[in-house]
Amino acid sequence: MIKFLYTSALGLLFVFSAYAVPQQREHTRDSQTPSLINIRVSRTVQAVNYRDRASTKIDFRGTPLMPRAEGKADIQAKGGRVAIRAEFDHLELPSTFGSAYLTYVLWAISPEGTPNNLGEVVLEGSKSKLAVTTNLQTFAMIVTAEPYFAVSFPSEVVVIENIVRGDTKGSVSTVDAKFELLKRGTYDDMRLERFTTDASAPLSLYEARNALRIAKAQGAAQYAPESWAKAEDAMRRAEDYQLRKQHKAVPTAAREAVQDAEDARNIAVKRQEDERVAQQQRQADEQARRAKAAQEDESQRRAEAERQQMQAEVSAAQEAKARAEADAQRKTAMLQEQQAREQAALAAQQAAQSAQQAQDAQSQAQQAQQQAQLAQQQAAQSERDKQELRAKLLQQFNRILETRDTVRGLVVNIGDVLFDTGRYTLKPPAREALAKLSGIVLAYPGLKLTVEGHTDSTGTPSFNQKLSEERAMTVRDYLVQQGVDMNSVTAAGLGEGMPIADNSTAAGRQKNRRVEIIVSGEVIGTRIGGQPGDQPPQ
């Protein structure tokens, strides 16, 4: 039994951090636009490591926020995926917890504390049914009240948690893990007005309105204008369908608006953090410039003082020489003595000049060494930045589709199950996953994508070659439709020539039927843990 820690709504000590995938601190532009805030909290919940090919059951019970709620789920683990068929009962309306809450979301919490949005829990009266799958093998499940279905992090309004039954099959152990929750009351702080409901309007339309209001409060219109424009366009289409009573088309456009708004909100928070970091860097650069200017001024003052001193010494020597010439007729001895003094002064002057030249040479050597060290530090920092971005993209892509880090780049795997058998038409889950992937890629213009189609050895080589090409081009065209620059995406069909598993087994053939997206580019550098010269293809 794995125990994850988070607080009840009655309150423990809160530790704040910024609400966004790439952020770790709060960023507020002004007092009229409150930021979304995450909060680390603690409470025990059970989780199970579901064995492959296992079939079992697990129960759900309500938290103190909704004590009458209950539920159960059938679990099927097969082929590295876990299928969940859940039923819930005695659920109250989400608006019970505040005007911002319109729906419920089922979450899987990994042992590392990472929340995974499994899907929306849609009410039918006080009941709900949900069928979802996940790549996680070990996880806990909770249900939270949310403003819309596509949220990236769970709110603190945890109403249901899973309970291990006596007959639940799976490896059960205990660990401590922490995951982030969105502070309860944050949406209320944004002063979101309660909707006046219309029985003819679907819930998804109100969720879309909520998603756009929250994204706008996060600065999406300013910091993510392209994604925000897509969200607004989808919202206008949904409202137009509703106005013209084309009710079947409303939910599709509304869900697209929700996803686009969430993408825009994530991009906006990331760019606000980048802006803050850039401002800090500019301030640091300005301080360094001022310090360098002060040092240069001090050096100039010292050089001027030395020049004046040298001029004084030369003048004194000339005066001594003039007096010696005037006294030349007096005594030869005095003249010889004066000449000796002049020679000594000249030697001192030459020694001073030699010393100054040596000092200048030493100063130049030190400056050259400092510049070389600075260049090395900048190169190292650039490589670290690329590695951090590569690791972040790997994590974000893995939340959407299976992704691995290779010498060629980040390889995103679209399995055969996302296409109809022997066809190249994308299924809805594939389009949704590629839409999310496109939202991430659009945030980094320097990325390059190569789409490669593969098949198993079933069928003729010519059929497999054509099918692999058609599937690769379908994925490329969809990415371009989502806004990805067509010049940064290429596609190729490789047929059955590059298997990754044994074609003699059904499992091996399924692995070989795939489309891979290789994400590369100078902005993400080399493979994580690789050598600086180990660059992906450009």
What pLDDT was estimated at residue 23? 34
Q: What letter would DSSP give residue 416?
A: G
Q: Is 70 exceeded by the pLDDT of residue 531?
A: no
Q: Is the dihedral of CA 477, 399, 392, 158 positive or negative?
A: positive
Q: What letter would DSSP give residue 444?
A: -
Q: Which is nearest to 415 in space by CA: 507, 324, 513, 487? A: 513
Which H or E run contains 368? helix 332-398
- Kindly give the residue spans of alpha helices, DSSP state H, lying in 218-331: 220-223, 225-243, 250-326
* Pairwise CA distance, residues 452 & 437, whole Å: 16
Lowest mean pLDDT among 13-27, 181-195, 229-243: 13-27
Residues contacting 328, CB < 8 A, separation 6+: 335
Phi, psi (degrees; rounded to nearest 5) at 101: -90, 120
Bridge-based pairing of strands 158-163 and 55-62 is antiparallel
Residues contacting 357, CB < 8 A, separation 6+: none
- What is the band of 2 on the pLDDT scale with cuts at 50, 70, 90? very low
pTM summary value? 0.48
- What is the band of 81 on the pLDDT scale with cuts at 50, 70, 90? very high
Q: In what order do the strands lie in the sheet with 410-415?
A: 403-405, 410-415, 514-520, 448-454, 489-493
What pLDDT was estimated at residue 323? 86
- What is the band of 124 on the pLDDT scale with cuts at 50, 70, 90? very high
Residues contacting 367, CB < 8 A, separation 6+: none
Q: Is 60 exceeded by the pLDDT of residue 119?
A: yes
Residues contacting 391, CB < 8 A, separation 6+: 528
The tens digit of pLDDT for each residue in 322-343 reads 888 888 888 888 888 888 888 8
What pLDDT was estimated at residue 378? 74
Is 14 strand, coil or helix? coil
- What is the band of 153 on the pLDDT scale with cuts at 50, 70, 90? confident
Q: Is 447 exposed, middle or buried (0-12, 13-18, 19+ CB in 10 A)?
A: buried
Rounded mean pLDDT of the chain? Answer: 83
Residue with tokens 């843990």: 529
**What dihedral angle (degrees, nearest 10) is formed by the CA atoms of 98, 102, 108, 112?**
-50
Identify residue 31 by its one-letter amino acid code: S
Q: Is 60 exceeded by the pLDDT of residue 175?
A: no
* Pairwise CA distance, residues 91 & 86, whole Å: 14
Q: What letter would DSSP give residue 501?
A: S
The tens digit of pLDDT for each residue in 16-29 reads 233 333 333 333 33
Residue with tokens 């409901």: 197
Distances (CA, A) of 179 to 32, 50, 470: 29, 21, 42
What pLDDT was estimated at residue 247? 87
Q: Is 80 exceeded by the pLDDT of residue 174?
A: no
* Pairwise CA distance, residues 480 & 226, whole Å: 14
Average pLDDT over residues 217-235: 92
Q: What letter would DSSP give residue 464?
A: H
181 has which bridge partners?
Answer: 39
Query: Which pair of structure tokens corresponds to residue 428?
Result: 């809805």
Bridge-based pairing of strands 489-493 and 448-454 is parallel
What pLDDT was estimated at residue 169? 76
What pLDDT was estimated at residue 466? 94
88-109 exposure pattern, b = at least 16 Cβ within 10 A, e = fewer: beebbebeebbebbbbbbbbbb
- What is the band of 43 on the pLDDT scale with cuts at 50, 70, 90? low
Distances (CA, A) of 427 to 129, 152, 430, 471: 22, 23, 5, 12
- Kindly give the residue spans of alpha helices, DSSP state H, lying in 399-489: 428-442, 461-481
Query: Which pair of structure tokens corresponds to residue 214?
Result: 């929250």
The tens digit of pLDDT for each residue in 413-460 reads 987 767 777 788 888 988 999 999 999 999 998 899 999 999 999 889
* Pairwise CA distance, residues 221 & 393, whole Å: 23
The tens digit of pLDDT for each residue in 366-408 reads 888 888 888 787 777 888 888 889 899 999 989 999 999 999 9
What pLDDT was estimated at residue 405? 93
* Pairwise CA distance, residues 509 & 494, whole Å: 15
Q: At what angle do helices 203-217 and 250-326 cross, to 10 degrees?
A: 10
Contact 56, 170 (CB under 8 A): yes
Residue 35 vs residue 233, higher pLDDT: 233
Q: At what angle do helices 428-442 and 225-243 cross, to 10 degrees?
A: 140
163-175 exposure pattern, b = at least 16 Cβ within 10 A, e = fewer: bbeeebbbeeeee
